[in-house]
Amino acid sequence: MPYRSPVSDYEFIFDHIVPMADIAATERFADAQKDVSDAILAEAGKLSDDILAPLQRVGDLNPARLENGVVRTAPGFAEGFRALAEGGWVGISADPEYGGMGLPMALCTAVNDMMTGACISLQLCPLLSQGQIEALEHHASDAIKDLYLPKLTSGEWTGTMNLTEPQAGTDVGALRTKAEPNGDGTYSISGQKIYITYGDHDFGGNVCHLVLARLPDGVPGPKGISLFMVPKYIPDENGNPGVANDLRVVSLEHKLGIHASPTCVMEYSGATGWLVGEEHNGMAAMFTMMNNARLGVGIQGVGIAEAAYQHAVAYAMDRKQGATKLEGGKGTIIDHADVRRMLTSMKADIFAARAIAAACASAIDLTTATGDATHRARAALLTPIAKAFGSDVGIAVSAEGLQIHGGMGFVEETGAAQFSRDVRITSIYEGTNGIQAMDLVARKMMDGGEAANAIFEEIENHAEKAKGQFPDLAEAVWSACETVCETTEWLVAQGDLNDRFAGAVPYLRAFARVLGAHYHLKAAMTGDATRAKLARFYIERLLPEHVGLCAHARVGAAGIYELSADELAA
């Protein structure tokens, strides 16, 4: 079935839930008025629906391949990327000084949602470039900015991030890649990196690798790591791709999904690189890129959930199977109570996850525009929630889509299985969702829960205002928020971080459930009857999960270790 970008959903969110007007009221984003915002959404929707979506199935059936050291992408991918780049979409939030649109991250997030739903395997390429652009804007020298940012922003060149090694995944500090000074301001980079998305392709231009490596005097662990720009082709005196650098693609991973996205094993054999940021401070620069990517990955989950939902609705509207007594029904499986339950749950969770991601992006924009510490803390707090909940929703919705298709969902030709295969990686890369939850209850609670409590106060104040219009729903949201607030206080009081970590995942889920309920209640308050019905479903049927989740979060770590490792293996 044709994919339809959720343009109207974002117009609603930016008008009523996470107001774009608040962002446009700042001097930094004064151009992001409603007419501009709506035009951007409409044009991104057209590109996604007409150009990118037809490549979704093509890419799955024609995986990227490595031929004589050259990566070949699926038919139409190079043309699709060029259309995307020529439209300026890679640089939508990049600095105008280097050719970017300079628009809010909230709009960039919405565009990435649409493009992911259309074709995640292609969208991954600009997503990585966007993260690299942000890292260079914040940390690179003027010389590197002047050379690389215009070409990355235009899509003439593309960017990657190189962290993981066979022995160093989440524990990045265990990396072995070395950087030796050449004495001329450049460095010789040697080592192997794995899981490098779009480490090479046949789109043309240059591939610009940001590589973590350790200098000879770098101390062990993450504090001794530096970051380097290592291009596929060394730029000549005119800034054009010159001689080939000493790097190569060793192999491509054979993956469960995102087949058309080349995931490379990269070998650096004394490749020439340039330092980005300060020596031994590479993790600070790389985390700029990773945090950008974490929000991007969360919205990837939402985008694929949207596509899977549309696919499932179309099938349910058409498939006749069994009789129901629903008066005025369609006569197809969409009349069955359980199918209706699944579809409504899918739709409700997509809205909740989309609103959370938009709120996170908005906080990032307000931080950029004002430098205000409150917005900065909120953006930091919401990032792991947006990443983990968005990707979890993508996985759950895609699985429900398969279930709605029944046996046909297990048949590849229907296309339902591809969504589940493609989205599964989103809870793993850019920090697993367990890592996101641990970050939430540890680093993001170093303020004693202040940033979280500020959000809880907003939710409860809004619930109080909503009691006149939706007394039962408002009371449910207020009560749930209070429970999560109390759980936050319990977590903050635990001196042993393991007691926090043991319940981190259910805590993050409970927090997301309450945030989702808050945004659904705001949607209901607009007077839109359909939104009110969806809000009632979410608040009455999905929000109650927070009770068990919070109970789980407050148990602590003791029970986790009652079964020994040997007993688990028995």
Per-residue pLDDT tens for 290-305?
778 899 999 999 999 9
3-class secondary-structure state, position 321: coil
What is the rounded average pLDDT of the residues 492-520?
97
pLDDT of residue 253: 97
Strand runs (DSSP E) across 245-290, as ranges?
247-252, 263-276
CB 384 within 8 A of CB 437: yes
Per-residue pLDDT tens for 139-154?
999 999 999 999 999 9
Residue 121 predicted with pLDDT over 90: yes
Environment class of residue 141 by beta-carbon count within 10 Å: exposed (0-12), middle (13-18) or buried (19+)? middle
Query: Among the three residues 228, 261, 284, which one is the final residue of a domain in this structure?
Result: 284
Query: Among the three residues 154, 170, 205, which one is the final residue of a domain in this structure?
Result: 154
Query: Among the three residues 229, 257, 284, which one is the final residue of a domain in this structure?
Result: 284
Domain-located, residue 400: no
Q: DSSP letter at 76?
A: T
Query: Same domain for 179 and 129?
Result: no
Please report, for the domain that includes residue 86, its CATH number. 1.10.540.10
Nearest to 511 by CA among 294, 352, 295, 372: 352
Per-residue pLDDT tens for 223-264?
999 999 999 999 999 999 999 999 999 999 999 999 999 999
Residues 298 and 293: their CA atoms lie apart, in Å, by: 8
Higher-pLDDT residue of 286, 228? 228
Strand runs (DSSP E) across 154-204, as ranges?
158-162, 178-181, 187-197
Q: How many domains does the chain have?
A: 3
Per-residue pLDDT tens for 338-383?
999 999 999 999 999 999 999 999 999 999 999 999 999 999 999 9
CB 430 within 8 A of CB 356: no
Angle formed by the axes of helices 105-139 and 337-370, to 10°? Answer: 40
Please report, for the domain that includes residue 208, its CATH number. 2.40.110.20
Domain-located, residue 513: yes
Nearest to 401 by CA among 456, 450, 342: 342
Query: Same domain for 193 and 147?
Result: no
Sequence-ordered alpha helix ranges (H) in 90-141: 105-139
pLDDT of residue 290: 77
Domain-located, residue 67: yes
Exposure b/e, 195-221, CB count within 10 A at least 16 = b = bbbbbbbebebbbbbbbbbbbeebeee
Residues identified as active-site: 430
Query: Same domain for 143 and 187?
Result: no
Query: Same domain for 12 and 139?
Result: yes
CB 382 within 8 A of CB 512: no
Query: Same domain for 522 and 501?
Result: yes
Domain-located, residue 519: yes
Residue 284 predicted with pLDDT over 90: no
- pLDDT band of 169, cuts 50, 70, 90: confident
Per-residue pLDDT tens for 302-326?
999 999 999 999 999 999 998 887 8
Provide the phi-psi class of 155: left if phi over 0, else alpha when psi is between -120 and 50, else beta. Answer: left
- The DSSP string of 10-41 is HHHIIIIIS-HHHHHTSSTTTT--HHHHHHHH
Residues 117 and 5: their CA atoms lie apart, in Å, by: 8
pTM value > 0.85: yes
Domain-located, residue 73: yes
436: its two tokens: 């996101």
What is the rounded average pLDDT of the residues 454-480?
98
Residues 129 and 160: their CA atoms lie apart, in Å, by: 7
Please report, for the domain that includes residue 492, its CATH number. 1.20.120
Range of the domain at 460: 433-570
Q: What is the H or E stretch that residue 225 is in?
A: strand 225-231
Query: What's the mean per-residue pLDDT of the chain?
Result: 96
Q: Which residues pair with 193 in a beta bridge?
A: 266
Per-residue pLDDT tens for 69-90?
999 999 999 999 999 999 999 9
Residues 269 and 384: their CA atoms lie apart, in Å, by: 35
Query: Same domain for 102 and 48?
Result: yes
Exposure b/e, 52-81, CB count within 10 A at least 16 = b = bbebbbbbbebbbebeeeebbbbebbbebb
Q: What is the H or E stretch that residue 70 is in?
A: strand 70-72
Nearest to 492 by CA among 525, 531, 462, 448: 448
Half-sphere exposure of residue 313, counting CA atoms within 13 Å on the CB side?
15
Residue 1 predicted with pLDDT over 70: no
Query: Same domain for 445 and 566?
Result: yes
End-to-end CA distance of the chain: 48
Query: Same domain for 467 and 537?
Result: yes
pLDDT of residue 327: 86
Query: Same domain for 94 and 126?
Result: yes
Nearest to 72 by CA among 84, 81, 62: 62
Environment class of residue 253 by beta-carbon count within 10 Å: exposed (0-12), middle (13-18) or buried (19+)? middle
473: its two tokens: 């729903």
Question: What type of residue sits at position 279?
Answer: E
Query: Same domain for 69 and 186?
Result: no
Per-residue pLDDT tens for 34-60?
999 999 999 999 999 999 999 999 999
Sign for the CA dihedral angle at 441, 447, 448, 454 comes to negative
